[in-house]
Amino acid sequence: MADTIPMVDRVSTLTPLAHFFKSLGKRVCLAGGHLWYEVGPRTFFPMPFHRPFQDTFPQLNLLWRNGALFLRYPVDVGFSGFPSYTYLLTRHDYDLSSLKSKSRNQTRRGLENCSICRVPFDWLSREGIALIRDTLSRQGRNFTKGAENYWKRFLTLAADCPSLEAWGAFVGEALAAYLLAIRCGECVYIHNVFSRTDLLKYYPINAVTFAFSQEAMKREGVTHTCYGIRSIKGDKQSLNHFKAAMGFEKVLVLERIEINPRLKLWFDGGLARGIHWIAGKYSDRSEFAANINGLVTAYLTQKQLSAIEGASQNHSCP
């Protein structure tokens, strides 16, 4: 299915987002009607990404010239890749009946316990950092000084980007959870959700996710709300269960990893397996190593599946 947003209009909506990511210190590249931005060291990912690429990507050299060593993106059936999925909401009549029973009850309680409203980024840059620290700690992830500086800068810069917005769930006067979202053409992406552990009993995440998604699907020109793509580090079953229970549909896709030609020969010649072995040893202690390990694992899976497919096609030839 072709995108409903003309390419020239989509590019114009991506320009503020490109400026935001560039100001955040990430490499960016506008190519092929997509914004490619750095999600890891020299690893580029496109926005929008809720629809798979339906043809070969012709602007590879432009991305390589802009510093990319790796590209990760969803591809349509017929291309080699590795199995993945997104969680999408397409119902414009999204309401409590769209949720699974247990989640519906929790969300109803959350809406009774919490007040939901859009919150300004300049306020979040002061009051929201504690929830990021709390969330990462609960997930067993380190909240380093570098991470703190990154998120302070993210929230400060987001105030000047019309493509970004934040919604909060308050229990009384206390911020219990908040959601960061990105508008990109006809899709709204739930980018991050942070929360306070001691207030989770009031179901603020259910409440803010539901209220935001319901409002987003009523906006003119919005056809999808996306709750992310499979983590490169692997499946997170508890999070996947939450998304499905909140009425988001799991859509199976293929993703593809492209390697810069300057690196590909070395990568395929044994470098990938060496990196995989080293990163795997440290992935439980380092988020950087976990991301590298996930990327290389995905690429090796893609190569293996491509080889199996090629062997199968050759075997079927007369």
| Domain coordinates in residue numbering, the chain | 7-81+255-311, 88-253
pLDDT for position 161: 95
Reported pTM: 0.89
Query: pLDDT tens digits for 172-184?
Result: 999 999 999 999 9
Under 8 Å CB-to-CB from 50, ≥6 apart: which residues? 86, 88, 187, 189, 224, 226
- Residue 3 confidence (pLDDT) above 50: no
Checking if the pLDDT of 237 tops 60, the result is yes
Which pLDDT score, from 0 to 100, does residue 314 have?
A: 58
Residues 6+ away with beta carbon under 8 Å from 218 = 92
Pairwise CA distance, residues 295 & 87, whole Å: 20
pLDDT of 10 strictly over 60? no
CB 194 within 8 A of CB 134: yes
Report percent pLDDT > 90 for the chain.
Answer: 64
| The predicted structure's pLDDT at residue 257 | 93
Q: Which CATH architecture has domain 88-253?
A: 3-Layer(aba) Sandwich (3.40)
pLDDT beyond 90 at 225: yes
Q: Residue 209 — pLDDT band, cuts 50, 70, 90?
A: very high
Average pLDDT, the chain: 89
Q: What is the pLDDT of residue 281?
A: 85
